[in-house]
């Protein structure tokens, strides 16, 4: 493996501050919004549907802009990083791997991430690229930023529909991270298991992945099935109407899904 590309939200960055700030803006208890987010995740829906349950018809983009205008926009600092981020990224770079951070987020999120001076060769967000996951054009940009062939590039993320499946469709190697609501809830779904080249519980396991470890306990990297067609696989996420994946807003410019 020559390059590892990592998503942002629930891969590098915890989302608890994000959802707590939305709960505060809407004037509801944080646990109420968290429970609704959990319900959306379990149904395979977009997590922002939780906001629309509380405020039917809510335009999340407009609400985000209103929050920012009121001085209550997104915030990101060292305390938002998962504790394994710095050691894992540092180990990967020490092993000669190019490290890229590329996920959904605003221009401001990109600026704040770069200000943290992570051990990464490139940090970029979807708004800076002008295209958002899971759009195939985003993963085309990932391939460009990688500096390596798709088969020598590993994309790491927690979200099956936003990270795993479109990255695999782009020809990238993939690692599903059991982290955050989506990462935990869908970790054992057959399509996730069948599509992911590797499955990890922590970013520090990635060093073993690039080192070519062949051991595979249940919590360790999982090789793709020989002869399988993983790039077209998607889990049967149901939204109650029989639609796969649930409804998605065309574009939501804020720090989640990253």
Helix/strand/coil percentages in the chain, nearest 5: 45, 10, 45
Report the DSSP beta bridge partners of residue 3: 98, 153
Secondary structure class of 235 (helix, strand, coil):
coil
Unique residue bearing structure tokens 């305390």: 79
DSSP 224: P
**pLDDT, one tens digit for every residue, the chain (258 residues):** 999 999 999 999 999 888 899 999 999 999 999 999 999 999 989 899 999 999 999 999 899 889 888 888 788 899 999 999 999 999 999 999 999 999 999 898 999 999 999 999 999 999 999 999 999 999 999 999 999 999 999 999 999 999 999 999 999 999 999 999 999 999 999 999 999 999 999 999 999 888 764 333 334 444 433 333 333 333 433 332 222 233 332 222 223 333
Q: Specify whether the CB–CB gap between 101 and 6 falls below 8 A.
A: yes
* Predicted local confidence at residue 56, as pLDDT: 95
Unique residue bearing structure tokens 């982290």: 179
Quick one: three-class SS letters along 68-83? HHCCCCCCCCHHHECC
Please give the domain boundaries of the chain with CATH numbers for all domains: 3-12+77-211 (3.40.50.1000), 15-70 (no CATH)
Cα within 13 Å of Cα(230), Cβ side: 27
Cα separation, 111 vs 174, in Å, equals 26
* Predicted local confidence at residue 254, as pLDDT: 27
Q: Which two tokens stand for residue 4?
A: 């590892």
How far are the Cα atoms of 15, 20, 26, 58 from residue 29, in angstroms, in the given order?
Answer: 16, 8, 9, 18
* Predicted local confidence at residue 163, as pLDDT: 97
Per-residue pLDDT tens over the stretch 27-65: 999 999 999 999 999 998 989 999 999 999 999 989 988
Give yes or no for a cis peptide into 87 (omega within 30° of 0). no
Per-residue pLDDT tens over the stretch 224-250: 333 333 333 334 333 322 222 333 322
* Predicted local confidence at residue 235, as pLDDT: 41
| Buried residues in 200-235 as b, exposed as e (16+ CB within 10 A) | bbebbbbbebbeeeeeeeeebbbebeeeeebbebbb
Question: pTM for the full model?
Answer: 0.80
Instruction: Return the closest-CA partner of residue 52 out of 29, 74, 22.
Output: 22
Strands (E), 12-110: 98-103
* Predicted local confidence at residue 212, as pLDDT: 64
């Amino acid at each position: 493996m020559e390059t590892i590309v990592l998503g942002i939200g629930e891969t590098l960055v915890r989302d608890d501050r994000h959802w707590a700030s939305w709960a505060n803006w809407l004037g509801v208890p944080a646990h109420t919004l968290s429970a609704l987010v959990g319900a959306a995740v379990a149904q395979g829906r977009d997590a922002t549907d939780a906001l629309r349950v509380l405020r039917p018809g809510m335009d999340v983009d407009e609400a985000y802009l209103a929050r920012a205008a009121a001085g209550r926009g997104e915030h990101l600092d060292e305390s938002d990083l998962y504790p394994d981020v710095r050691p894992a990224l540092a180990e990967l770079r020490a092993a000669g791997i190019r490290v890229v951070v590329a996920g959904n987020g605003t221009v401001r999120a990109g600026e704040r991430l770069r200000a943290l001076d992570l051990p990464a060769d490139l940090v970029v967000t979807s708004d800076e690229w002008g295209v958002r996951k899971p759009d195939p054009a985003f993963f085309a940009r990932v391939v460009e930023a990688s500096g390596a062939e798709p088969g020598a590039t590993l994309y790491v993320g927690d979200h099956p529909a936003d990270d795993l499946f479109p990255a695999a469709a782009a020809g990238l190697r993939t690692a599903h991270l059991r982290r955050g609501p989506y990462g935990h809830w869908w970790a054992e779904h057959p399509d996730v298991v069948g599509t992911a080249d590797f499955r990890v519980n922590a970013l520090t396991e990635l060093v073993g992945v690039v080192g070519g470890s062949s051991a595979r306990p249940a919590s360790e990297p999982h090789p793709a099935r020989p002869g399988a067609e993983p790039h077209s696989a998607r889990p049967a996420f149901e939204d109650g109407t029989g639609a796969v994946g649930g409804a998605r807003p065309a574009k939501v410019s804020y720090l989640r899904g990253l």
